[in-house]
Structure 1
Amino acid sequence: MSKTSIRPMIEVALFATIAYILDLVTQPMSIGPWISLSFKMVPIFLLSFRWGVGAGAMGGLIWGLLQVVTGQAAGGWLTLTQGFLEYFVAFSLIGISGVVKPVLDKAIIQGKKLKSLVYITGGILLGGFSRYLIHFIAGVIFWGSYAPKGQSPYLYSFIVNSSSFLGETLASLIVFFALQRFLGRLLNTEK
Structure 2
Amino acid sequence: MSKTTVRPMIEVALLATIAYILDLVTQPLSLGPWISLSFKMVPIFLLSFRWGVRAGAMGGFIWGLLQVVTGEAAGGWLTPIQGFLEYFVAFSLIGLSGIVKPTLDKAIRDKKRVQTLTYITVGVVLGGFARYLIHYIAGVIFWGSYAPEGQSAYLYSLIVNSSSFIGETIASLIVFFILQEFLGRLLITEQ
* TM tier relative to shorter chain: over 0.9
What runs of 5+ residues in structure 2 fail to find an aligned partner?
none
Give CA deviations for 1:98-146 in whole Å, capped at 9, x if unaligned.
Answer: 0000000000110101100000000000000000000000000000011
Matched residue type, 2:33: P
Other-structure match for 2:161: 161
Take 2:121 and 2:11, find their aligned partners in 1: how far apart are those partners? 22
Other-structure match for 1:108: 108
Take 2:32 and 2:139, find their aligned partners in 1: how far apart are those partners? 23
Matched residue type, 1:73: A
Matched residue type, 1:159: I
Other-structure match for 2:22: 22
Other-structure match for 1:32: 32
Other-structure match for 1:137: 137
Other-structure match for 2:98: 98
Give the TM-score, by structure 2 length: 0.99
Other-structure match for 1:172: 172
Moved segments of 4+, more than 2 Å = none
Deviation of the 1:189 alpha carbon: 1.2
* Superposition pairs of residues 112-123 of structure 1, within 5 angstroms: 112-123=112-123
Take 1:16 and 1:9, find their aligned partners in 2: how far apart are those partners? 11
The number of aligned residues is: 191
Deviation of the 1:17 alpha carbon: 0.1
Provide the aligned C-alpha RMSD in A: 0.7
Deviation of the 1:175 alpha carbon: 0.2
Take 1:117 and 1:128, find their aligned partners in 2: how far apart are those partners? 16
Other-structure match for 1:187: 187
Other-structure match for 1:46: 46
Give the TM-score, by structure 1 length: 0.99
Aligned residues: percent identity? 82
What SS is found at the alignment partner of 1:9?
A: helix
Other-structure match for 2:12: 12
Give CA deviations for 1:16-47 in whole Å, capped at 9, x if unaligned.
Answer: 00000000000000012211000000000000
